[in-house]
């Protein structure tokens, strides 16, 4: 029983140590997305970019949310990748940034 607990603790420690810090990029596109075909084109092409983990398209809001591994790619590279399949992407800045805390 002790071996199982020790092994479980070691595995948990290893998994936590390997956990990545994923980042999120939100963009809007030109031309605008207007149908499911546009969404599929974006998702189908972006999924091959290095570091991309998840892609969510919101057609009514005209937003593409990309979750990516910051160690493998950058927002600039992801934005540039849209030109490969006929789109121009522009990053959407956060509307309400957190206020800075004075120390």
User: Three-state secondary structure along 41-100?
Assistant: HHHHHHCCCCCEEEEEEECCCCEEEEEEECCCCCHHHHHHHHHHHCCEEEECCCCCCCCC
Quick: pLDDT tens for 62-93.
999 999 999 999 999 999 999 999 999 999 98
pLDDT value of position 98: 52
Contacts of 77 (CB under 8 A, 6+ apart): 49, 50
What would the two tokens of residue 81 be?
């990748």
Q: How far apart, in whole angstroms, are the C-alpha atoms of residue 48 and residue 41?
A: 12
What would the two tokens of residue 59 be?
């057609």
Quick: pLDDT tens for 26-57.
999 999 999 999 999 999 999 999 999 999 99
Average confidence score pLDDT of the chain: 85
Q: Is the pLDDT of residue 21 over 90?
A: no
User: Does the pTM exceed 0.85?
Assistant: no
């Amino acid at each position: 029983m002790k071996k199982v607990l020790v092994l479980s603790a070691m595995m948990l420690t290893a998994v936590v140590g390997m956990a990545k810090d994923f980042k999120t990029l939100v963009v809007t596109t030109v031309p605008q997305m207007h149908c499911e075909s546009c969404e599929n084109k974006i998702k189908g092409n972006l999924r091959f970019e290095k570091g991309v983990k998840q892609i969510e398209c919101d057609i009514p809001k005209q937003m593409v949310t990309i979750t990516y591994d910051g160690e493998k790619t950058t927002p600039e590279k992801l934005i540039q990748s849209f030109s490969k399949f006929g789109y121009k992407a522009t990053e959407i800045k956060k509307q309400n940034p957190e206020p800075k805390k004075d120390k």
